[in-house]
Every structure is written in structure tokens, then in C-alpha cells.
Amino acid sequence: MRACYTRFSGKKRALVRSQSGSTMIEHDLSARLRQRSRTSGILVGLSMALTIIIALTAFIWLYVRLGPYLGDFIPRATEVTTPTPGPAAAGAETPASEEANASESQPTPTPLPSPTPVWQPTHRVAEGTPVNFRSGPGTDTEVVQVLEPGTPLMFLGEQEQAAGATWLHLALEDGTDGWIRTIDLERLQPQ
């Protein structure tokens, strides 16, 4: 092996030639190259993380902005709960009702039940995706229930224009009423 010296950026560097003729660079230069590649790797990683954060922020912003316009296409499950009186409340009402019954000596006439209209479906939810059954016309009102395609509905005779669409006031067979856009419905043939 022979050692020869060469000038590299103003400093002397030792190059060692092996018997095969290849040149090996001094250890100091190799350490600097490793340091530069480490720095480059860190910069690439940071730029990737920054790009992901910016893309995620842009997606969230866009989702929030378009939410009111696309609200009927994104089903939202809401749970409707009705408060039930507890045992303490029921016990408190019992003595008052007994006092009222004791003070009245004659029975009160029972009102005749009003004839209930026969539920006759006039529309159904169009085939495709589930739609939101809303408490009022418009996509900014509360979702009462999400209805599957083919669900039968009865038109209650009321319609309104909201957000460029015609909304119909409808009822389910169980009596729940709500609003759906006409483009999400199919009219049924009378039987």
C-alpha cells in the first residue's frame, strides 16, 4: 500500500491506495457525508409531517364547510329518549289522585275515542342510500331518524321550499312525523 496526499478544499487529505488500485477516502470525509445524509433525512421527514398536517387540516376545513350542503347524504344516527317518571315521582302523585277521587262522588264520563284515520302510504323512500327523516324542512334541522330505502310514508298535506328543494311533511306508520326532500321519495300508486 502506498499513501499519497492530495489537496481537497484547501486541506491535505490522505488517500490510501490498495494493491487492487482502488482509492479509499479518509475517515473524516466519510463522517461528514454521514452527517449530511442524516440532516437530509431529518429535513425530508419534517417536510413529510408538515405536508400531512396541512392536508389533514384542509380536509377538516372542507368537511366542515360542506357539511350543511351534503348533510342529507351523510346519515347521522341520533337516539331519541323520552324521560320516564321514577318511583319517587309516581309515589308522590298517588295520594293527590286518591284525594281527588275521594272528593268526587260521581264518576266522570269517559270521552269517546275519536276515530283514528287509517294510515295509507302515499310515498316511499327512493332506492339507493338511506335518507335523513328531519324535524323540519332543510338540512340544518335535527335528524329524527334515518330511513332505509323502500320505507313507506304517508303525506300529511304540507310542503315547503327550503335551500332550493321541495320538502314534504310525512308520517311513518308508527305516527312519527318529519320532513324529506321530494327528490329522495317515490310516489306510490293508490290502491
Kindly indicate the confidence band of residue 52, based on its pLDDT and cuts at 50, 70 and 90. Answer: very high
Domain end residue (candidates: 13, 42, 72): 72
> Domain residues for 56?
2-72
Cell numbers 461528514: residue? 32
Residue 57 inside a domain? The answer is yes
We report the CATH number of the domain holding residue 163 as 2.30.30.40
105 in a structural domain:
no
pLDDT of 147 over the 60 cut: yes
CB neighbourhood size of 71 (10 A): 18
167 within domain boundaries: yes
- Do 68 and 8 sit in the same domain of this protein? yes
Band (pLDDT 50/70/90 cuts) for residue 50 is very high
Q: Is residue 118 in some structural domain?
A: no
Q: Is the pTM of this model over 0.85?
A: no
Does 116 reside within a domain? no
Cα–Cα distances in angstroms (integers) from residue 191 to residues 157, 159, 188, in the given order: 19, 23, 9
Q: Taking 80 as the threshold, does the pLDDT of residue 160 lie above it? A: yes
26: cell is 479518509
Residue 24 is assigned to a structural domain of this protein? yes
For strand 11-17 and strand 165-171, is the pairing parallel, antiparallel, or unpaired? Answer: unpaired
What's residue 44's pLDDT? 94
Q: For residue 155, list its beta bridge partners.
A: 170
Q: Is 123 within 8 Å of 188 (Cβ atoms)? A: yes
Q: Does 47 reside within a domain?
A: yes
Tens-digit pLDDT profile for residues 80-125: 556 666 555 555 555 555 555 555 556 666 666 655 567 788 999 9
Tell me the mean pLDDT in the region 51-78.
78
Q: Is residue 181 part of a domain?
A: yes
The radius of gyration of the chain's CA atoms, rounded to the nearest angstrom, is 39
Q: How many domains does the structure of the chain reveal? A: 2
